């Protein structure tokens, strides 16, 4: 059954060369920890991506229960956490994944920096990486408000005050984030939209470009 489906597709859109291109691509020796243990430093980009996939999957399930309004946000999270089968574990994965992904991202950035992989011809991928970095921080910041508890509320207030203190664009950035006179219903609605639609969309587009360039240029090194 699967075989005939595969053949049906292959005859029409020639899928064999597509997965062969990835499957037959040899891992260079200098990034393979089986050859040199120190090559494990090259794993952090892949680990970041692994966590990003977990965040997207767990986030999709959380969105099935989360209610983005100030009356019900906290209650919906409480309900999900305590009443729904696997709710606690899915929320826990998303909660801890958020921190672990930033740690992995940081280690990946350090690896790229200390192996000099940002240099010619990979400057453009470094710039895409910087954008990825800000998008990941943005996801962390916007996600933190969503449970709408005291910690979330006051952390966001402080975050918006920090944004407001930036010269020239500070006020505009703060009112864009806050959406109204106070941190309230408008803020929660736009943080939800940013967290669930805008930033993940931008993240996926940037990741597509990041991986395209890595395949095109090959991995850097050996040192």
Q: What residue ranges bind ligand HEM (CB under 6 A)?
A: 42, 44-46, 48-49, 52, 105, 108-109, 111-112, 117-118, 122, 125-126, 129-130, 132-133, 136, 207, 210, 214, 219-220
Q: Least CB distance from residue 192 to ligand HEM, whole Å?
A: 21
Q: Least CB distance from residue 99 to ligand HEM, whole Å?
A: 14
Instruction: Mention every residue, 6+ apart, whose C-beta is less than 8 A from residue 86.
Output: none
| CB closer to ligand HEM out of 42 and 148 | 42
Q: Identify which of 193, 194, 185, 183 has the alpha carbon closest to the alpha carbon of residue 136.
A: 194
| CB closer to ligand HEM out of 67 and 209 | 209
Report residue 72 as tokens.
């019900």
| CB closer to ligand HEM out of 136 and 152 | 136
The rounded distance, in Å, linking the Cα atoms of 152 and 145 is: 5
Phi, psi of 33, rounded to the nearest 5 degrees: -60, -20
Contact at 8 Å (CB) between 171 and 164? yes
Residue nearest to ligand HEM (CB): 129
| CB closer to ligand HEM out of 156 and 220 | 220
Q: Least CB distance from residue 219 to ligand HEM, whole Å?
A: 4
CA separation, residue 7 to residues 18, 136, 139 (Å): 14, 40, 41
| CB closer to ligand HEM out of 109 and 156 | 109
């Amino acid at each position: 059954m699967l075989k005939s489906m595969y053949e049906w597709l292959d005859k029409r859109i020639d899928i064999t060369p597509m997965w062969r291109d990835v499957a037959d691509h040899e891992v260079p020796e200098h990034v393979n920890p089986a050859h040199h243990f120190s090559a494990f430093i090259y794993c952090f980009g892949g680990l970041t991506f692994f966590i990003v996939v977990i965040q997207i999957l767990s986030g999709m399930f959380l969105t099935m229960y989360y209610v983005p309004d100030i009356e019900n946000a906290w209650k919906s999270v409480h309900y999900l956490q305590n009443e729904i089968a696997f709710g606690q574990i899915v929320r826990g994965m998303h909660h801890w994944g958020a921190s672990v992904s930033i740690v992995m991202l940081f280690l990946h950035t350090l690896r790229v920096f200390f192996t000099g992989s940002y240099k010619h011809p990979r400057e453009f991928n470094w710039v895409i990486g910087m954008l990825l970095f800000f998008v990941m921080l943005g996801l962390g910041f916007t996600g933190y408000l969503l449970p709408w508890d005291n910690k979330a509320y006051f952390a966001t207030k402080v975050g918006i005050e920090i944004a407001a203190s930036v010269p020239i664009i500070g006020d505009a950035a703060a009112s864009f984030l806050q959406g109204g006179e106070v941190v309230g219903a408008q803020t929660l609605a736009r943080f939800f939209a940013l967290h669930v639609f805008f930033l993940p969309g931008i993240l996926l587009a940037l990741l597509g470009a990041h991986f395209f360039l890595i395949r095109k240029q090959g991995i850097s090194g050996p040192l």
